[in-house]
Amino acid sequence: MQTLEQPTTLSQTRLNLTRRPRRLRQSPAVRGLVRETQLTTADFIQPLFITDNPEPTAIESMPGISRLPIKDLLHECETLASLGIQAVVLFPHLDPSLKDAAGSQALNPDSLFIQAIRAVKQAVPELLLIADMALDPYTSHGHDGILNDTGTEVLNDVSATIMAKMAVLLAQNGCDWVAPSDMMDGRVGAIREALDAHDLTQTGILAYSAKYASAYYGPFRDAVGSAQAAGTHLLSKDSYQMDPANRREALVEACLDEEEGADVLMVKPAGAYLDIIREVREHTALPVAAYQVSGEYAQIHAAAQLGWLNLERCREESLLAIKRAGADMILSYFAKDMALALR
């Protein structure tokens, strides 16, 4: 039982406590020794956007992030590697004139995306090169797959078949991992089978296993141009991306991707889905990735610009939470900034 002794002075007031957890918080040295979660540069994957414009194009809704032509992309990859970032994930931004309903540029062996992959792998071979895979950057309607004749449904099996062909093309041109982000049923199995059939057994699959139909993707859709193609930031992908209300369903998706041959399972978004990251972490022995998405990045910047939040502290706290929830690797637009801060 706690008793309060009669003090002679205020500083002599003492509770009779056996355990005082604050003893392990009293100095930077102690806090460092007992810290349970540590962020390191090796935790991060930097997303990068590619453009055919001759100069970098700033993305207004994502402060500090630009679409990069290949020459600037190579310089950025070299800089990231020098800072200790070990992996990047690439996203294409196509001229609208190249888009069509079938997303045919996705299978163009001389597309801007393929040229960029070849260039990065040649210039910075030590960097793990991940190619995002979905059809929304290539389609005139902005969806991640092929629509039926009436434009009312995304066709699952046709879209997954195209994704498998796309994976082979990307791997043959130098990417180390493919990252299917479309959420079509069975696409991981189709991709693994196609890669193995083409003797690409060492190409890894980073599966967007639990990708939710989130409201946090708006700035990203600006970045890749799918919002422009669709004519709205609010394009509904509810028929293939997951319902934000569902938790158990994430485990169904993750287990299916594991069975079909995924090497890494990913949860997207990260910040609003820490419980999902923990659920997946506790149900698989595979590495778990989490994507701190564009909306999470943008809202921290916006609040900091208004003076409402401290950018650096909120940036680190948000990333610590993602790692603490169980993520082994984090895709984040803050990756470069964190590498600089951790030097």
C-beta of residue 41 within 8 angstroms of C-beta of residue 339: yes
Mean pLDDT, residues 178-202 taken together: 97
Q: Which amino acid is at 25?
A: R
Q: Where does the pLDDT of residue 51 fall: very low under 50, low under 70, confident under 90, or very high at 90 and above?
A: very high
The yes-or-no verdict on residue 319 having pLDDT over 70 is yes
The yes-or-no verdict on residue 186 having pLDDT over 80 is yes
The pLDDT assigned to 118 comes to 98
Q: Which contiguous run of DSSP H or E holds residue 272?
A: none
The single residue of 211, 237, 323, 336 carrying the catalytic annotation is 211
Using only C-alpha atoms, the chain has a radius of gyration, in whole angstroms, of 23
Look up the pTM and report it. Answer: 0.93
Which superfamily, per CATH, for 39-341? Aldolase class I (3.20.20.70)
More confident residue, 222 or 274: 274
The pLDDT assigned to 234 comes to 61
Active site residue 211: yes
The pLDDT assigned to 157 comes to 97
More confident residue, 228 or 274: 274
The yes-or-no verdict on residue 278 having pLDDT over 80 is yes
206 Cβ partners below 8 Å, 6+ apart? 130, 177, 178, 179, 262, 263, 264, 266, 289
The yes-or-no verdict on residue 318 having pLDDT over 80 is yes
The yes-or-no verdict on residue 27 having pLDDT over 70 is yes
Report the distance separating Cα 330 and Cα 340, nearest Å.
16
Query: How far out from the chain centre does Cα 60 lie?
Result: 19
The pLDDT assigned to 122 comes to 97
pLDDT tens digits, 83-105: 999 999 999 999 999 999 999 99
pLDDT tens digits, 206-244: 999 999 999 999 999 888 876 554 455 567 899 999 999
Mean pLDDT across the chain, nearest whole number? 94
pLDDT tens digits, 119-140: 999 999 999 999 999 999 999 9
The pLDDT assigned to 8 comes to 62
Report the distance separating Cα 166 and Cα 129, nearest Å.
15
4-13, 121-130, 186-195, 289-298: range with lowest mean pLDDT: 4-13
State the burial class of residue 305 (Cβ atoms within 10 Å of its Cβ: 0-12, 13-18, 19+): exposed
The single residue of 99, 237, 268, 336 carrying the catalytic annotation is 268
pLDDT tens digits, 255-266: 999 999 999 999
Q: Give me the half-sphere count of Cα atoms (radius 13 Å) on the Cβ side of residue 40.
A: 7
Active site residue 99: no
Mean pLDDT, residues 154-180 taken together: 97
